[in-house]
Amino acid sequence: MNPVHIADPQDPRVAPYLDIRERDLAGRQGRFVAEGKVVLNVLFSARRFAAESVLVLESRLPGLAATLALAPANMPVYVASGPVMDAIAGFHIHRGVLAIGRKRAPQAPEELLDELPERALVVVLVGIANHDNVGAIFRNAAAFGAAAVILDASSCDPLYRKAIRVSVGAVLKIPFAVADDADGLADAMARRGFELYGLSPRGKADLRDVERRGRAALWFGAEGEGLPEKLLARLNTVRIAMAGGFDSLNVAAASAIALHQLAELEKSAG
Amino acid sequence: MNPVHIADPQDPRVAPYLDIRERDLAGRQGRFVAEGKVVLNVLFSARRFAAESVLVLESRLPGLAATLALAPANMPVYVASGPVMDAIAGFHIHRGVLAIGRKRAPQAPEELLDELPERALVVVLVGIANHDNVGAIFRNAAAFGAAAVILDASSCDPLYRKAIRVSVGAVLKIPFAVADDADGLADAMARRGFELYGLSPRGKADLRDVERRGRAALWFGAEGEGLPEKLLARLNTVRIAMAGGFDSLNVAAASAIALHQLAELEKSAG
């Protein structure tokens, strides 16, 4: 480990951490901000991402020793007092530790699909622009062993700070790719033997009756609009049964239910 | 309808709306802040709550005519320009409409349980202090037809502004009560024929194997700590199967899965 004490919030070495709430780093040369020990543990063991540096509250340094031991040996660890850290970030950093990560070469969806095994469950998101929902869906995808997440270009970048945080690091764990064209993606998946399931309140099949085969993809659209009609027309549409009078379900909640149902989870002893 | 134009943010008639983000109205004589058209529709038809007044952006007034027609005829409707409304609330009110609601007489948990039918699914929350999670759980409870929600005293007040908003009004729709003592509540439910299921990562039964009978209660604890051991010892413990390596599920996601599983939903045609 290589701790560097920072006394001046304007120190150029911590420039990537300046005013992080205002400046969304996502998309800037593939850099992003990761927060908290749990997320950093995932970042340091992620093969698709590199950690560029860490900024840590001096009082938190001892408690983070085991986490920082996972980081590359030459990665700088910037250490600051509470007031300096908050002045850098532009708000109070509750978790006391931040990292700047960098995406390695992005992968095209087809390339990612080609790496998947014969039995695989993939999540596809179309038009999900809310960071909390994207983060929560990644967390669910990780909990139920999804092999990948593919987002269309109108969904939000999973590397947005809040999405990473809500996902508890799952965004850095599950391979993901961005598809320019949802119809083209459906073709590419069908060619690779995926059964495509589109969640919709007006879906033809009840989720509880779906029998998953080897390769399956669960497609989710934004709350309200849902998946585009044109796309629904070529998917196996599936509905989640609800009680009358209040048939409204958050898309992350819907993903939890659908993933649990289709994940082929083992029945281990409790 | 009774529109009253407000030009001065300090007008005493709109005092309950002052700086609403700073002052959590929940618990103040049972008053709370409801936001947005969907939530107001629920508030105006809720029998357990009364609407005291509405504050609406003048440009939104025509679009809210159908909603406001559901309100009590003598309820004041305060109308303001954008700058005045934002100055009152202390931040930008995106949805353009707020209401102050009031709880009618609170109900003891036993009283609420006595009103429930022979077949009923109840959600019990212990130590859930996060407003988003409480709101999301109420939304799931409504989607799957839960008859009531009972919270222990360490859970957050569902009438907190953000919880109401995240619940999309479900907090105002599903009867809820607060129990001082979780063990006493378990006794009260058992006496009334409820099967008590406690969700826990180390639960004895796999959720998919649970056969719900007439009256069932799903107990959820806070993420991390979970339900207290003493309480788990007297519940039928249930786990949600997950993939290895990332067995972390948000409590609202867990509630969606468990409610969907135990809700006895009809298999209507799609």
pLDDT for the residue numbered B105 = 83
Cα separation, A165 vs A135, in Å, equals 7
Q: Is the CB of residue B133 less than 8 Å away from at least one CB of chain A? A: no
pLDDT for the residue numbered B233 = 96
User: Considering only A13-27, A86-100, A199-213, B192-206, which range has the smallest mean pLDDT?
Assistant: A13-27
Which chain A residues touch B120 with a CB distance below 8 Å?
none
- Token reading at A74: 């030459």
pLDDT for the residue numbered B269 = 53
| Mean pLDDT along residues A255-269 | 86
**Per-residue confidence band for B8, with pLDDT thresholds at 50, 70 and 90:** very high
Q: Is the CB of residue A256 less than 8 Å away from at least one CB of chain B? A: yes
**Per-residue confidence band for B23, with pLDDT thresholds at 50, 70 and 90:** low
Residue type, position B74, single letter: N
Domains of chain B: 2-103 (3.30.1330.30), 109-262 (3.40.1280.10)
Over residues A60-79, the pLDDT tens digits come to: 999 999 999 999 989 999 99
pLDDT for the residue numbered B12 = 94
Q: Is a pLDDT exceeding 80 seen at residue A142?
A: yes
**Per-residue confidence band for B186, with pLDDT thresholds at 50, 70 and 90:** very high
**Per-residue confidence band for A99, with pLDDT thresholds at 50, 70 and 90:** very high
Q: Is a pLDDT exceeding 80 seen at residue A27?
A: no
| A242: nearest CB among B144, B243, B246 | B144
Question: Is the Cβ–Cβ distance between A186 and A221 less than 8 Å?
Answer: no
Q: Is the CB of residue A168 less than 8 Å away from at least one CB of chain B? A: yes
Cα distance from B249 to chain A (closest Cα, Å)?
6
Cα separation, B270 vs B259, in Å, equals 20
Cα separation, B139 vs B167, in Å, equals 5
Mutation choice for A interface testing from B134, B246, B264, B267 by most A CBs within 10 A:
B246
Q: Is a pLDDT exceeding 60 seen at residue A269?
A: no
In this prediction the ipTM stands at 0.90
Cα distance from B204 to chain A (closest Cα, Å)?
4
CA geometry: angle A15, A19, A23, nearest 5 deg = 95
Counts for chain A of helices (H) and strands (E), in that order: 10, 12
- Interchain pair B268, A139: CB under 8 A: no
| Mean pLDDT along residues A47-70 | 94
Residue type, position B99, single letter: A
Question: Is the Cβ–Cβ distance between A230 and A209 less than 8 Å?
Answer: no
pLDDT for the residue numbered A266 = 76
**Per-residue confidence band for B196, with pLDDT thresholds at 50, 70 and 90:** very high
Q: Is the CB of residue A117 less than 8 Å away from at least one CB of chain B? A: no
Q: Is a pLDDT exceeding 60 seen at residue B227?
A: yes
| Mean pLDDT along residues B56-63 | 95
Over residues B94-104, the pLDDT tens digits come to: 889 999 999 88
Q: Is the CB of residue A37 less than 8 Å away from at least one CB of chain B? A: no
Portion of chain B with pLDDT greater than 90, in percent:
80
| Mean pLDDT along residues B10-15 | 94
**Per-residue confidence band for B170, with pLDDT thresholds at 50, 70 and 90:** very high
A:B CB pairs within 8 Å: 111
Q: Is a pLDDT exceeding 70 seen at residue A133?
A: yes
Q: Which residues contact B2 (CB under 8 A, 6 or more apart)?
A: B73, B74, B75, B76, B77
**Per-residue confidence band for B27, with pLDDT thresholds at 50, 70 and 90:** low
Mutation choice for B interface testing from A257, A266, A268 by most B CBs within 10 A:
A257
pLDDT for the residue numbered B69 = 94
Which chain B residues touch A145 with a CB distance below 8 Å?
242-244
Q: Is a pLDDT exceeding 90 seen at residue B188?
A: yes
Q: Is a pLDDT exceeding 90 seen at residue A163?
A: yes
The side-by-side arrangement of strands in the sheet containing A148-152 is A176-179, A148-152, A120-126, A215-221, A195-199, A236-239, A205-206
Q: Is the CB of residue A247 less than 8 Å away from at least one CB of chain B? A: yes
Question: Is the Cβ–Cβ distance between B123 and B149 less than 8 Å?
Answer: yes
pLDDT for the residue numbered B43 = 95
| A173: nearest CB among B142, B240, B246 | B246
pLDDT for the residue numbered A244 = 79
Q: Which residues contact B154 (CB under 8 A, 6 or more apart)?
A: B126, B127, B129
**Per-residue confidence band for B82, with pLDDT thresholds at 50, 70 and 90:** very high
**Of A184, A189, A206, A98, which is closest to residue A149 (Cα–Cα)?**
A189
- Interchain pair B173, A266: CB under 8 A: no
Which chain A residues touch B143 with a CB distance below 8 Å?
242-243, 246-249, 253
Q: Is a pLDDT exceeding 60 seen at residue B259?
A: yes
Residue in chain B lying closest to A266 (CA): B241
pLDDT for the residue numbered B268 = 65
User: Considering only A23-37, A85-99, A125-139, A153-167, which range has the smallest mean pLDDT?
Assistant: A23-37
Q: Is the CB of residue A186 less than 8 Å away from at least one CB of chain B? A: no
Q: Is a pLDDT exceeding 80 seen at residue A28?
A: no
Q: For all residues of chain B together, what is the average pLDDT?
A: 92
Kindly state the helix (H) or strand (E) to which residue B239 belongs, with its residue range.
strand B236-239
Q: Where are the alpha helices (DSSP H) in A146-181?
A: 161-166, 170-173
pLDDT for the residue numbered A224 = 85
Which chain A residues touch B136 with a CB distance below 8 Å?
250, 253
Q: Is the CB of residue A249 less than 8 Å away from at least one CB of chain B? A: yes
Say which residue, B248 or A198, is predicted with more confidence: A198
pLDDT for the residue numbered A116 = 96
Q: Where are the beta strands (DSSP E) in chain A?
A: 2-5, 31-35, 49-57, 76-80, 97-103, 120-126, 148-152, 176-179, 195-199, 205-206, 215-221, 236-239
pLDDT for the residue numbered A246 = 66
pLDDT for the residue numbered A95 = 85
| B248: nearest CB among A168, A266, A268 | A168
Q: For all residues of chain A together, what is the average pLDDT?
A: 92
Over residues A221-243, the pLDDT tens digits come to: 998 889 999 999 999 999 999 99
User: Considering only A115-119, B150-154, B243-247, which range has the smallest mean pLDDT?
Assistant: B243-247
Cα separation, B270 vs B131, in Å, equals 34
